[in-house]
Homo-oligomer: A and B are copies of this chain.
Amino acid sequence: MEINNKIIKLLDDLREKTPLVHQITNNVTINDCANITLAIGGSPVMAEDIHEVREMVSLASSLVLNIGILTTGSIEAMIAAGKKANELNIPVILDPVGVGATSYRNESCKKIMSEVKLAVIRGNLSEIKSIYGIDTVTRGVDASESFVAGSNEFTKAKAMARNFADKFNTVVAITGEVDIITDGKTLYATSNGHKMMSRVTGTGCMCTAVIGCYLGAGDNNLIAALAGVVSMGIAGETAYERLDKKIEGSGTFRVKMIDAMYNLCDIEINKRSEINEE
């Protein structure tokens, strides 16, 4: 399948280039984000102080902004790094964790989006709806809304994603049971992954970090977002298959996800990817 070949090519480039991925992220999942970046073949750097983010991002191939734990300083640093990245044509991805839950997150997210040009934005349905201005319920930082393929909600989400991507001239990735990735024109619906991923903190953040790695390896933002979502989904379902369900649980599952990302290869992608272009 042609689209698989594009993903495989980008994965090869990633491992060849080992892009430096500058991440300003939250303290809950910062270690997981660094380790998944190394697992797939990237090189993470997590600087977040305003005094050095501009200089650090200048060395990087891509920039990941994640608002999982906000502080006044971190927003300022994200915007400074983001602007510098824009100047240098370094792609920026935003993960608007928990947006919709508090006004502080909403405002911070708006501020970032108004000052930084984003290559990709990845969130769950509640988060993306919230940014888009549709009334929704965000319950903490976990997905509180979702949809299944073929549902009315799915059709609506696809239309919203396209409009969002058009309006902000970016790539939108909505992840959940089914995932939507679009640049406003082409739209991919993918369904890799396993629901156990929601029982480990940071699978969303890790997905964003992996997209960050792909962004740093090539120059097609849409394919990078698709590759990241599919890679993370494959890692999750591979980990689930290898679990001894009688005695193993979310602890081992998390370790095996990172193992699967480390071992991700063309064979796995060709065997497992579930991608529909619409």
Which residue, A32, A55, A102, A263, has most C-beta atoms of chain B within 10 A?
Answer: A102
Query: Contact at B51–A104, with CB atoms within 8 Å?
Result: yes
A30 / chain B contacts, CB cutoff of 8 Å: 27-28
A102 / chain B contacts, CB cutoff of 8 Å: 47, 51-52, 55-56
Does A29 interact with chain B (Cβ within 8 Å)? yes
Query: Contact at B242–A262, with CB atoms within 8 Å?
Result: no
Query: Contact at A31–B202, with CB atoms within 8 Å?
Result: yes
Q: Which residue of B has the minimal Cβ distance to A60?
A: B140
Does A123 interact with chain B (Cβ within 8 Å)? no
Tell me, in angstroms, the Cα distance from A74 to B71 when the chains sit together.
Answer: 11
Interface size of A by Cβ–Cβ distance < 8 Å? 64
Does A45 interact with chain B (Cβ within 8 Å)? yes
Q: How far is the CB of A180 from chain B (nearest CB, A)?
A: 24
Q: How far is the CB of A151 from chain B (nearest CB, A)?
A: 22
A38 / chain B contacts, CB cutoff of 8 Å: 198-201, 250
- Determine, out of A114-122, A167-175, A219-227, A252-260, the stretch whose residues face the partner at the interface: A252-260
- Of B70, B141, B250, B260, the contact of A49 (CB 8 Å cutoff): B70
Does A217 interact with chain B (Cβ within 8 Å)? no
Tell me, in angstroms, the Cα distance from A67 to B191 when the chains sit together.
Answer: 41
Query: Contact at B140–A43, with CB atoms within 8 Å?
Result: yes
Does A178 interact with chain B (Cβ within 8 Å)? no
Does A48 interact with chain B (Cβ within 8 Å)? yes
A48 / chain B contacts, CB cutoff of 8 Å: 69, 71
A249 / chain B contacts, CB cutoff of 8 Å: 39, 258-263
Q: What are 20 A-B contacts with C-beta separation under 8 Å?
A: A22-B140, A28-B46, A29-B34, A34-B201, A34-B202, A35-B251, A35-B254, A45-B140, A47-B102, A48-B71, A51-B70, A52-B104, A52-B105, A56-B102, A59-B101, A60-B140, A247-B259, A251-B254, A251-B258, A251-B262
Mark A residues whose CB is within 8 Å of B. 20, 22, 26-32, 34-35, 38-39, 43-49, 51-52, 55-56, 59-60, 68-73, 98, 101-105, 139-142, 198-202, 242, 247-252, 254-263
| Extra pairs beyond A44-B201, A250-B259, A252-B259 (16, CB < 8 Å) | A27-B46, A29-B31, A31-B202, A34-B201, A38-B199, A45-B98, A46-B141, A49-B104, A51-B102, A51-B104, A52-B102, A52-B103, A56-B101, A56-B140, A242-B247, A250-B258
